[in-house]
Structure 1
Amino acid sequence: MNYASDPIWWHLKKTIVRDLASLLTAPSPWISSAELPVSILLGNEGFRFLLSLDEQPDNLYLFLKQHGGYQTHLGVYAERLLYYWFLHAPHSRLIAHNLPVQDNQRTVGAFDFIVQLNDQIFHLELTCKYYGSQSDKAESFIGLSKADRLMDKMHKIKQQLALSIQPAAESTLKDLMLEPGMLQHASIIRGMLFTPSANQHFQAPLHPLCWQGRYIENWAEFEFQEHHRFYVLDHLSFLSPVRVSSNAIVNFNQIKQIRQGMIALVQQHADGYWHEVERIMKTDQHS
């Protein structure tokens, strides 16, 4: 699936709002039995709220600046965006954020979010991951760092979701006037999977409708055309499809010098901006 072609991107222009929208609506890279449905996360008025934020994003900019959202770690940026959402979305009541759980003065974990959405209370865990592979086998997918493996993260988030039922969490929840049985635990898994075809028919546990990109180990594998233009993504640009001005784009001769990283293939639209049509993960097999 090419999530970059979703109609939502026709309406949203500001990068931070597009990033927030991606956290709310993008498909997960792998199947989680506990994945929070988009309809619950977005809510009935969620899209209207996103449109209003796109028109007046100053409060969101200020919130991210005040809460360290522009750090170089993508996970921190994504978490702060959802933090804002849960504080301000019409159907949401934030109960706790980044709440540590201790056992005999030893921290055994932390709740990413405890939040009430409509009439349900959730323990939510967020992760944003980008994995590539030459094959379609779940065990072969790794990140730009070879130590970052999809299967490891899949198991890790299951452990994180079990935090609310650990005995050590009981007193932490009691301080919030909650009991473990009152919470539903759910994941918010975002990111992409990259394969040489960029259009793989995945089988479980990989998500068949996930956002896909092209995996390249050598630039000679890329079928370059003279009109192609690109945008080189930094670590905080991964979340949503790229929309950039002309002064940010580069040509193939410039990107083929990149040994490892994430690049968007872009096309110019009627609004004058260059929009992502495909994303590439380039890895260096010698690193």
Structure 2
Amino acid sequence: MRNDSGQQAYGELIETLREAPVRDLAWLLLSADLLSAARFPAALAHFDGVQAAADIAAVSPQGLPPAPLPGVAEPVFHSRVLHDWLLACDANPEPLREMLARGESHRLGRYAEQLLHFALLHSPRFDLIAAGLQVRDVRRGNMTLGECDFLLERRADRRLLHWELAVKLYLFVPPEVPSSPSSVLDERAIQFHWLGPNLADSLADKVARLLGHQLRLTSLDAARSALPAPGPWLPQVYLKGWLFHPLGQRGTLPQVASEAHGRGWWATLDEWWVHAHSMLPGRQTSQRRQTGAWAMLPRSRWLAPARVDACAALSLDAMRAHIEAHWRERGVAEPLLIVSLARRTDDAAAGDWFECERGFVVPDFWAPRARHRIEELRERADAAARRALAQTADDGAPSI
């Protein structure tokens, strides 16, 4: 977990940055991980501020780390170099914007890949060897096995690293009615109850794909001809995101999740409406004028905490009307990410509003569909596991 000074410095930096892509870049590089380095069964990647004892020894003039470190490296205060570089990017965002314009930035995952790609090209800690490398099996007609997001070399010790990047937003869907007090969800079941807002996948699916496929790409015999160096490659997970708990509740966290994860809520429109009204201060107070604003975030702005122009900040009543109009115009009620906003009275740009908290407003039918989707995803995963087991048995059977 980040120390207090690191959290404070990161928060101050995010509020200082004005350009949306630079804010997203800072969030991607410096925000808390979605996974726990101590409990996830694979190594986590960090862009800056994290080194194991062996890494520090490799660059320390005395050959020893300056202070005892725990057995598992965790994020610590980011470096002044990175801080100053992000401020420079904010002052001149054109190079970043030009790179984003060349890519597929309308998809959140691809957008995050472009951001990290840009950062790695400018990093003093890493040499980027390849990005988005397609791995194919030449022995099976060049069948695509997958894509390595980033292959790089760490300058401190020349270690070859294979990074798999993902940005995920998951909502916890509690079981409808526990069958008995003893029906406690196990780790895998809990992961299935964390679903994406569009119900396409779950945390369980992502963990399984990372461990069972993506992180194994650079170790496959069939991939060696496609790799720029024979290795060995150290696979690491770069997973950022937000976890959304039911409004007014605490969702059951899986063991693999970081306690410091980015946090939000989800609720139906009426649930949010009642809650938001209950949180309003007195109607004539200056505090209400400072904190009574809301905004809806487009998908492209789901990463960093929002900084919103005054013209985009809505009153509570206008926010509800905007949600209802959006659903009506689209012809379908989809989960929408909204943020409550506050104005920093000591900020030079008095017109800007800053995110206080975020949450998904979902249609009434979303939770029942989500519970049904959990069962579908679990059955699909179980069927895939059975096929893999059968294939393994067939591959190991003696020929006749």
What TM-score comes out, normalization by structure 2 length? Answer: 0.65
Per the TM alignment, residue 97 of structure 1 is displaced from its structure 2 partner at its CA by 0.7
Task: Give how far 1:44 is off.
Answer: 6.5
Counterparts of 1:184 and 1:276 in 2: how far apart (Å)? 37
Give the counterpart of 1:125 among 139, 164, 187: 164
By how many angstroms is 1:50 displaced?
A: 1.1
> Do 1:198 and 1:215's aligned partners in 2 also have CA atoms closer than 8 Å?
no
Q: Deviation at 1:11? A: 2.8
Q: Which amino acid aligns with 2:112?
A: A
Q: Distance in 2 between matches of 1:11 and 1:138?
A: 35
Gaps of 5+ in 1: none
Return the TM-score normalized by structure 1: 0.88
Contact 2:127 2:153 in 1 (8 A): yes
Farther-moved stretch of structure 1 (146-155 vs 272-281): 146-155
Aligned pair 1:36/2:90, yes or no? no
Identity value in percent: 25
Bigger mean CA offset, 86-95 vs 255-264? 255-264
Cα distance in structure 2, aligned partners of 1:75 and 1:20: 13
156-165 or 224-233: bigger deviation: 224-233
Partner of 2:98: 62
Deviation at 1:40, TM superposition (A): 4.5
Asked if the contact 2:148–2:164 (Cα under 8 Å) also holds between the matched residues in 1, the reply is yes
How many Å separate the matches in 2 of 1:48 and 1:117? 21
Query: Equivalent of 2:217, from 163, 187, 196?
Result: 163
Alignment of 1:41-120 (within 5 A): 45-65=81-101, 67-69=102-104, 71-103=105-137, 104=140, 105-119=142-156, 120=159
The one-letter amino acid paired with 1:223 is A
Deviation of the 1:55 alpha carbon:
1.3
Q: Deviations over 1:120-156 (max 9, x none)?
A: 3211111000011244943311111123211111111
Counterpart check, 1:15 vs 2:27: no
Q: Structure 1 190/172 Cα, relative in aligned 2: closer, same or farther at 3 Å? A: same
**Which structure 2 residue ranges, 5 or more long, are not aligned?**
2-6, 52-77, 175-184, 324-332, 367-400
CA distance in 1, matches of 2:95, 2:82: 17
**Structure 1 position 160, deviation (Å):** 0.6
The CA deviation string for residues 13-62 of structure 1, in whole angstroms up to 9 with x for no partner, is: 21111101111111222333321135249767222211211111111111
Q: Secondary structure at the match of 1:124?
A: strand
Structure of higher RCO (CA pairs closer than 8 Å, 6+ residues apart): 1
Q: Is the 8 A contact 1:49 1:89 kept in 2?
A: no
The alpha-carbon deviation at position 200 of structure 1 amounts to 6.0
117-126 vs 216-225, which deviates more? 216-225
- 8 Å Cα contact 2:172-2:251 kept in structure 1: no
Quote the RMSD (CA, aligned, Å): 2.5
2:203 is aligned with what amino acid? Answer: L
CA distance in 2, matches of 1:197, 1:27: 22
> Secondary structure at 1:127's aligned position in 2?
strand
Alignment partner of 1:261 is 2:336: yes
Determine whether 1:27 maps to 2:32: yes
1: CA distance, partners of 2:364 / 2:31: 29
Q: Distance in 1 between matches of 2:204 and 2:19?
A: 34
Instruction: Please name the residue that 2:373 is paired with.
Output: none
Question: How much has 1:209 moved relative to structure 2?
Answer: 1.0
Alignment-mate amino acid for residue 132 of structure 1: L
1:188-215 CA-partner distances (Å, limit 9, x unpaired): 1011001123766845122111010012
Q: Is this contact kept in 1: 2:172–2:252, CA < 8 A?
A: no
Residue 383 of structure 2 corresponds to none
**Counterpart-to-counterpart distance in 2, 1:101 and 1:126:** 16
Q: Which has the higher helix share?
A: 2
CA contact (8 A) 2:173 2:195 kept: no
Q: Secondary structure at the match of 1:162?
A: helix
Q: CA offsets, 1:82-131, max 9 Å, x none?
A: 11111122323210010011012100101101112323321111100001
Q: 1:285 offset after TM fit, Å?
A: 4.2
1:97 partner SS? strand
Q: Distance in 2 between matches of 1:160 and 1:186?
A: 10
Greater shift, 77-86 or 41-50, is seen at 41-50
Q: How many residues align?
A: 280
Aligned residue in 2 for 1:194: 244
Whichever residue aligns with residue 163 of structure 1, its letter is L
In the superposition, relative to structure 1, how do residues 134 and 46 fare at CA in structure 2: closer, same or farther (>3 Å)? same
Cα separation, 2, equivalents of 1:94 and 1:166: 21
| CA deviation after TM superposition for structure 1 residue 79, in Å | 0.7
